Structure 1
Amino acid sequence: MATKPGILTDWPWKNLGNFKYVILAPFVVHSFYSFFVTNKETRDMTNLLIFPFLLSRIIHNLIWISFSRHRTAKATNRILHRSIEFDQVDRESNWDDQILLTGIMFYLVHMMVHQASHLPLWNTNGLVLTIFLHMGPVEFLYYWLHRALHYHFLYSRYHSHHHSSIVTEPITSVIHPFIEEVSYFLLFAIPMMGTVLMGIGSITGLFGYITYIDFMNNMGHCNFEFIPKWLFSVLPPLKYLMYTPSFHSLHHTQFRTNYSLYMPIYDYIYGTMDPSSDSLQEKSLAGKEESPDVVHLTHLTTPESIYHLRLGFASLASMPLEGTRWYHWFLWPITCWSMLITCIYGHTFIVETNVLDKLKLHSWTIPRYNMQYYFQWQKQAINNLIEEAILEAEANGVKVMSLGLLNQGDELNNHGELYIRRNPKLNIKVVDGSSLMVAIVLNSIPKGTRQVLLIGKLNKVAYSLASILLQKGIQVALSYEDDYEKIKLRTKFSENLLFSRTYSQMVWLVGDGQNEKEQFKAKKGTLFIPFSQFPPKNLRDKDCFYRTTPSMTAPSTLKNVHSCENWLPRRVMSATRVTGIVHALEGWKKHECGDSMLDVKEVWEASLRHGFRPVS
């Protein structure tokens, strides 16, 4: 929001939220109806193609978003080494409003201007005129409009909203107050309406011009440079006709330079060209991919989780993953396509970079889904992917790798021990976060609790929890006799171990594989504390209480956090991920794999010391 919002700042359909697209429904229905009920001779392709074109614009923008976020995560050729936070993602979540505005304008002009109907697919004269009208009136008028928007009165009321984003992303290009976006559309309408009214307009001319605008907007707001310097050496006049991401990045940091739209010629003419434009481009092009200190290795969960990656939908990635939503059904073609691609693609990919003090943090993702981890025939391939990731991290000088979710499965690799056994000379430390998981669960149990129910699949976290609780004199009840016998063999404090099927305990420690029907046997007011990798279904959320999976709130010094880790709230990190970071900060020299665990108390105190806090 601008510092002093002026009139017509908010978009008219702001209060409609995600239902704003219903505004287009009457136009879309009318376009399809009128096309299919009229004779072939009178059918209007122009009107029919408006809606598919709007959809193509959305896809075009999403491709740029994914491409940009992947490149900035790798840090290759990055321009500004600053962070993006949740407030910027929220501010830019309405990037599609300008597409909606374009659709409404197109439909209205088609209805009111008879020359805008039944346009031919191609008209060379119209395309040539569009080019000249853009280079002349549009670029010239935009330059002076843009300079006017930087005067205090207009800047504080309108344009400061756009400049709130110092580190730009492709979608930053269209984040403006409503009236400002309307003024830009009127500028861009000059070539389109000019050709239409002169009778030389075409479908290619209209849609191609808007596509050009989208392309240049997205390209210029990337926070990495990829326009080669040799291009301007081979074609020197090009530097006056095409801007670069580094050129426009300077406008967002210096504010009073580089005002041009896409053609810097007017900055050269009027003396507002930033003298460091060329040197910044060269410096950015010379930038190399950064090697992290810590890598968190996770994987895809559900088919819909692809949209919640930082590389997917920015606004969805900034919110916790909450299972299948209504809009996922409309995305099933894309979902199936993405599943096919991830199954074919045989390498991990980077999804996120963060910085904590001087520590560089990466999150890498194995292109496999939850269900694939349970297929016996997939286990060897998944283990190979994980091992390749560990060896790649080792080669890049990574200090610690934490294995998230099922990448540390007991049956898959014995909590990562398989890779240490195969590669005994590894310098990188591999951790599964089990010690911190135990510490978080222990500190989540209300003070004064005398008895807990331990339920779900037993693993080393469960055994450690039971051992520590029994040693503290807290009774641990188990509802399955086999589990009771297994823990009894591992503890010296079996007098506090109970075999009980009354389900009367008010605190349940829930692991993976818990029988969901058992939740309905819990007493009203029961507290469910998971020690599992995945959250249990909240079947009793109306009369019981649920904690999140073992996790901690990140310190404020952790930068570039603008996506959620699966189902966890904003700025909350899984215990495994936190352990990897703390392990590197403390400089510990041992793995946490197989049956071995770090000291629970030491890990907990170290986490608090470095600014991590329990989830409130």
Structure 2
Amino acid sequence: MPNKNEAPFFSWPWQNLHSYKYLVYGPLVGKVVYSIHKGEIKNDSWFFLHILILFALRALIHQLFSTYSSLLFLNRARKINENGVEFDQIDAEWHWDNFLILQAAVASLLYMSFPSLNNFPKWDKNGIFICIVLHIGISEPLYYWIHRLLHSPSLFHKYHYLHHTSKVLHPFTAEYATFLEHILLCLVVGIPIVGSALIGYGSMSMVYSYLLVFDFLQCLGHCNIEVFPFRLFDAFPLLKYLIRTPTYHSLHHTNMGTNFCLFMPFYDHLWKTTNTNSWDLQREISSRKHSRAPDFVFLAHVVDVMSAMHAPYVFRSFSSMPFSIKAFLFPMWPFTYLVMLVMWAKSKTFLFSSYNLRGRLHHTWIVPRFGFQYFLPFAKKGINKQIEDAILKADKLGVKVISLAALNKNEGLNGGGTLFTNKHPNLKVRVVHGNTLTAAVILHEIPQNVDEVFLTGATSKLGRAIALYLARRNVKVLMLTLSTERFTKIQKEAPIECQKYLVQVTKYQAAQHCKNWIIGKWTTPREQYWAPKGTHFHQFVVPPIIPFRRDCTYGKLAAMKLPNDIQGLGSCEYTMERGVVHACHAGGVIHFLEGWKHNEVGAINVDQIDVVWKAALKHGLKPI
């Protein structure tokens, strides 16, 4: 129910329906489908079909602009506001498309009142001209004065403040407003269309053109990327009065007493409300060649085609939630696969997302390789070349720390990063695999009173460190490995009095009485079967094992929640919750915040596990 303290017409009538609001289109869809099925599409069915087509096209324009504004690897240098869109803003703007439902309802009411509207010809050049004249002569000044009125103290604090709560402009921000404001916008949008029709020059091409261009310009003004080169306005000064640039509109959100126009700055100039910094700032932003270099980089990789669609530049709302496979992803699979092949062919990393932590810029770069490719012998050289190029690029940019995600530091691929530090001993950027903190997270999940654990992947970097650490705590570790040589080598690393706690086992049956399993290697349902009832599966295997046992519990991959003072984060890292990152990512962050000068590559220093854990807690990272 609407808040009693809200002003009239603040909330949308279907606000409580949430995603079920699209059922409002049910009668229109039903009528069109029924008419098509009967093979006799009548006038009203044609009209409703046009409403549905326009809904799809207008939504597509907003989505395409959303994608464009999120392509950081293409346009970061021309970002107006350096910050990213945060989760709070994404949630607030979740139902940005409410205006489409409203305008569809208004159009339906107009049709029922004036059925002749459906008799529009397909094309009328005079209608296009009249529509433009009505927009410039009536809609533009009308919007200007409505907008200024909404900025009066009483109306601003009742209605218009909502639009200005969005910290970073985004195409969806363009439509984030109250019900009353969109009723007024319907008037602004409707005058040129209805006016042209009443004069007798209406046409379907005019309706489509006007609405789609209107939405295009709305998104353009809110996309947070400056798209116009300053030389264009130097060559054609008159354009400064005819087109609202993204920079021009952004100044309205920083100095709300200026730049009120809809699309034409001429009216701000006419009524003396132009921000004097408008064109100097536009020149500065549009002339940038390079963006600010990050201080920290997390070098991630693609898991599979489905996870590739979790990128912020696909669906902002979807990427702001932990990844899970959804039905709407399947039709997009072929196209996404082709895009990934193109990115792969480019043989370079791509900027995926960014955030600010204590004034320092953190990037996530993506190596465009699928998870399965890391296990193909012939792909090893190419993958290492891409990782090496990313490290050298980070070094050139002045990045302080680059942290490698799970498969990018695979032991069989590059020795946990040692390949790169040995090949380039003079690197200024610190290369970090982050496994020390990963080990610490897993170890702190194990109850203090545990006296026995079962460990798979026991001779891996993480398995070795976990086994040695637990042996020091006098915990018996059943290490699953067929290699006696590798087991013996690890056992000899433990203090003599602790070596007896490391026990080699070669079959899962050996752990049928142990209720704490630490999984570092893929485990099948048959192998999980040997765990006793009530077992908890800790895991550091990528991808995580499938939870088949209903009588057991399964931990997630090692992760930590980033500090509360993080800014600009609006996407989830794979299946992690909001604000949570994999422990290897967090390990790189800690390495950077502590200012450590060593590379963290190769074998894990067991003595550093507690040091890194305490540093993480000191800097505000929290265990999950």
The normalised TM-score by structure 1 is: 0.92
Q: Does 1:513 align with 2:514?
A: no
Equivalent residue for 2:305? 303
User: Which stretch shows the higher mean deviation, 169-178 or 281-290?
Assistant: 281-290
* Alpha carbons 1:403, 1:576 under 8 Å: kept: yes
Equivalent residue for 1:503? 512
1:572 pairs with one of 576, 580, 598: 580
Equivalent residue for 2:11? 10
State the alpha-carbon separation in 2 of the partners of residues 40 and 156 from structure 1. Answer: 48
Q: Does 1:115 align with 2:122?
A: no
State the alpha-carbon separation in 2 of the partners of residues 95 and 344 from structure 1. Answer: 36
Equivalent residue for 2:410? 409
User: Which stretch shows the higher mean deviation, 154-163 or 520-529?
Assistant: 520-529
* Alpha carbons 2:474, 2:501 under 8 Å: kept: yes
Equivalent residue for 2:568? 560
Counting only pairs closer than 5 Å after superposition, residues 328-367 of structure 1 correspond to structure 2 as 328-332=329-333, 334-367=335-368
Counting only pairs closer than 5 Å after superposition, residues 369-380 of structure 1 correspond to structure 2 as 369-380=370-381
Counting only pairs closer than 5 Å after superposition, residues 167-566 of structure 1 correspond to structure 2 as 167-287=168-288, 288-322=290-324, 324-332=325-333, 334-456=335-457, 458-478=459-479, 480=480, 482=482, 486-492=486-492, 493-498=498-503, 499=505, 501-540=510-549, 543-566=551-574
State the alpha-carbon separation in 2 of the partners of residues 134 and 31 from structure 1. Answer: 31
In the TM superposition, residue 35 of structure 1 has moved relative to its aligned partner by: 4.9
State the alpha-carbon separation in 1 of the partners of residues 3 and 567 from structure 2. Answer: 24
SS of alignment partner, residue 529 of structure 1: strand
Inter-CA distance 369–447: structure 2 relative to 1 (3 Å threshold): same
User: Which stretch shows the higher mean deviation, 570-579 or 418-427?
Assistant: 418-427
State the alpha-carbon separation in 1 of the partners of residues 322 and 3 from structure 2. Answer: 28
Inter-CA distance 378–179: structure 2 relative to 1 (3 Å threshold): farther
State the alpha-carbon separation in 1 of the partners of residues 552 and 101 from structure 2. Answer: 43
State the alpha-carbon separation in 2 of the partners of residues 121 and 597 from structure 1. Answer: 74
SS of alignment partner, residue 600 of structure 1: helix
State the alpha-carbon separation in 1 of the partners of residues 531 and 543 from structure 2. Answer: 20
Letter in 2 for 1:306: A
User: Which stretch shows the higher mean deviation, 210-219 or 105-114?
Assistant: 105-114
State the alpha-carbon separation in 2 of the partners of residues 235 and 228 from structure 1. Answer: 12
Equivalent residue for 2:495? none
* Alpha carbons 2:441, 2:623 under 8 Å: kept: yes
Inter-CA distance 613–42: structure 2 relative to 1 (3 Å threshold): closer
Aligned residues: 612
Counting only pairs closer than 5 Å after superposition, residues 34-113 of structure 1 correspond to structure 2 as 34-35=35-36, 37-38=38-39, 47-71=48-72, 75-110=76-111, 112-113=113-114
Inter-CA distance 345–15: structure 2 relative to 1 (3 Å threshold): farther
Letter in 2 for 1:495: K
The normalised TM-score by structure 2 is: 0.90
State the alpha-carbon separation in 2 of the partners of residues 406 and 3 from structure 1. Answer: 54
In the TM superposition, residue 366 of structure 1 has moved relative to its aligned partner by: 1.5
In the TM superposition, residue 544 of structure 1 has moved relative to its aligned partner by: 3.6
Give deviations 1:116-135, integer Å, cap 9, x for gaps: 32533321011101111111
* Alpha carbons 1:31, 1:48 under 8 Å: kept: yes
Q: Percent identity?
A: 33
Equivalent residue for 1:610? 619
State the alpha-carbon separation in 2 of the partners of residues 575 and 105 from structure 1. Answer: 52
State the alpha-carbon separation in 2 of the partners of residues 576 and 74 from structure 1. Answer: 28
Give deviations 1:68-102, integer Å, cap 9, x for gaps: 12249964133234453211111111122223333
Letter in 1 for 2:524: N
> What is the Cα-based RMSD across aligned positions, in Å?
2.8
Give deviations 1:510-545, integer Å, cap 9, x for gaps: 2241223333443443322222343332334x5443
In the TM superposition, residue 580 of structure 1 has moved relative to its aligned partner by: 1.7
State the alpha-carbon separation in 2 of the partners of residues 481 and 241 from structure 1. Answer: 72
Inter-CA distance 143–333: structure 2 relative to 1 (3 Å threshold): farther
Equivalent residue for 1:593? 601
In the TM superposition, residue 565 of structure 1 has moved relative to its aligned partner by: 0.7
Letter in 2 for 1:496: Y
User: Which stretch shows the higher mean deviation, 352-361 or 515-524?
Assistant: 515-524
In the TM superposition, residue 162 of structure 1 has moved relative to its aligned partner by: 0.7
User: Which stretch shows the higher mean deviation, 202-211 or 543-552?
Assistant: 543-552
* Alpha carbons 1:416, 1:593 under 8 Å: kept: yes
State the alpha-carbon separation in 2 of the partners of residues 376 and 17 from structure 1. Answer: 49
In the TM superposition, residue 441 of structure 1 has moved relative to its aligned partner by: 1.0
Letter in 1 for 2:390: A
* Alpha carbons 1:84, 1:561 under 8 Å: kept: yes
Inter-CA distance 241–169: structure 2 relative to 1 (3 Å threshold): same
* Alpha carbons 1:77, 1:224 under 8 Å: kept: yes
Letter in 1 for 2:386: L
Instruction: Kindly report structure 1 stretches of 4+ aligned residues shifted beyond 6 Å.
Output: 39-44
* Alpha carbons 1:251, 1:257 under 8 Å: kept: yes
1:584 pairs with one of 592, 595, 620: 592
In the TM superposition, residue 280 of structure 1 has moved relative to its aligned partner by: 2.2
User: Which stretch shows the higher mean deviation, 581-590 or 90-99?
Assistant: 581-590
Give deviations 1:479-533, integer Å, cap 9, x for gaps: x452677434411434223446243323221224122333344344332222234
State the alpha-carbon separation in 1 of the partners of residues 187 and 415 from structure 2. Answer: 63
User: Which stretch shows the higher mean deviation, 561-570 or 228-237?
Assistant: 228-237
Unaligned runs of 5+ in 2: 493-497
In the TM superposition, residue 587 of structure 1 has moved relative to its aligned partner by: 2.7
User: Which stretch shows the higher mean deviation, 69-78 or 126-135?
Assistant: 69-78
Give deviations 1:310-364, integer Å, cap 9, x for gaps: 2221111111112x12332354455445445444443211011222224221111
* Alpha carbons 2:561, 2:622 under 8 Å: kept: yes
* Alpha carbons 1:46, 1:119 under 8 Å: kept: no
Counting only pairs closer than 5 Å after superposition, residues 127-146 of structure 1 correspond to structure 2 as 127-146=128-147
* Alpha carbons 2:561, 2:581 under 8 Å: kept: yes
* Alpha carbons 2:457, 2:481 under 8 Å: kept: no
In the TM superposition, residue 24 of structure 1 has moved relative to its aligned partner by: 1.7
In the TM superposition, residue 569 of structure 1 has moved relative to its aligned partner by: 0.9
